[in-house]
Amino acid sequence: MRKPKAMIRKGILLLSLILLNASVKAQSLSELYEKVNPAIVVILTEQKELVSSGKMTQTVTSGGLGSGFMISDTQIVTAAHVVQVAEKVNVQFLDGEIIPAKVISAYATADVALLELIWPRKNAVTLKLADSDAVKVGESVFVVGAPYGLGHSLSSGYVSGIIRDKEDKNPFTNSEYIQTDAAINTGNSGGPMMNMKGEVIGVVSNILTQSGGFQGIGFASSSNITKELLFEKKIIWNGTDLIPLTGKVAQIFNLPQESGLLVQRVVKLSPFGVLGIEDGDVEMTLNGEKLIVGGDIILSINGVKFESTDESLVNIAKVMERKSENAPLEIVVFRAGKKVTLGRK
């Protein structure tokens, strides 16, 4: 009769240890949240959108929302899709202060962007970008952001996979994503995915969903691809939304070369906007994909012709790796059936 009692005591002890471990983990996560939360910001944007009503199409200004995090008193990392074509960017801090910002760099494929505040944040709390190569599947992670703009919140989960595609020399196509089951919703984009040391291992990108809400799979661009693209490659943000035109699609647009980049939207005060590049004003569907047409089609940048080859894309990336916004820039576009050269010396 003593043996079952001993087993019961062992079972109770084991359960107590499990509950204690869960309590310690919850407490440490709560402490980490309190520590990192002041570094998390809400990104408020304004951008142009085409709205169709019957046979009428007009351009309106719409608001956007995302998250981000501070890495210095003037710099903030967020997701590229949050700010790529934003006409105006404001950063809201935990205490309610709002500081305007400008986009410095953005990569659509990797979905990472760097913002610079117009003036420094006083007493800034910053986060550290960790080595994402050390991340393991099954590792505990947590995400902090502003889902739906309802204030800061935390969700936790595990790393469920790592998707690497960064062997290509072209930074426009490089990407590396960490997959997680931590809840990610609208407004979380650009916020940090963090390890249990409170270090950033990823920048929240998107969710895989059919309903528009979280359904168990979310992705974050790895911290290492973020460091490589934003702080080593340093391609300056161009302020455009571009779609490649190749093959038969390029022939439909009667391009004078095999490929081009169709300008969907352009921010007027961006480097490409100031140069005089024009965006489209008519929506159409081609091969099941929605396009905005009527704008410029980029044929070449600084003498490098756009072609759907790895060599061409690498050369364009090298051209765009400029350390100064005022560096010489010449872009040839196809506009109304003619080649037009835009540029600055």
- Catalytic residue among 67, 105, 111, 221, which? 111
Report the alpha-carbon distance of residue 132 to residue 78 in Å, rounded: 17
The C-alpha angle with vertex 64 and arms to 245 and 86, in degrees rounded to 5, equals 55
What DSSP line would sit under 265-308, residue for residue?
Answer: EE-TTSHHHHHT-----EEEEETTEEEEESS-EEEEETTEE--S
Q: Report strand pairing: 218-222 vs 240-245.
A: unpaired
Given 189, 222, 223, 300, which residue is catalytic? 189
The Cβ of residue 99 has, within 10 Å, a number of other Cβ atoms equal to 18
Cα–Cα dist 332/314, whole Å? 18
Please confirm, yes or no, whether 310 is among the known catalytic residues. Answer: no
Q: Which residues pair with 67 in a beta bridge?
A: 42
**In 36-174, beta strands by DSSP E:** 40-53, 56-70, 75-78, 88-92, 98-107, 112-117, 140-145, 153-165
- Asked about 111 being catalytic, the answer comes back as yes
Q: Please say if 152 is a catalytic residue.
A: no
**Element containing residue 9 per DSSP (H, E):** helix 2-36
**Per annotation, catalytic residue among 81, 175, 241, 270:** 81
| Residues taking part in catalysis | 81, 111, 189
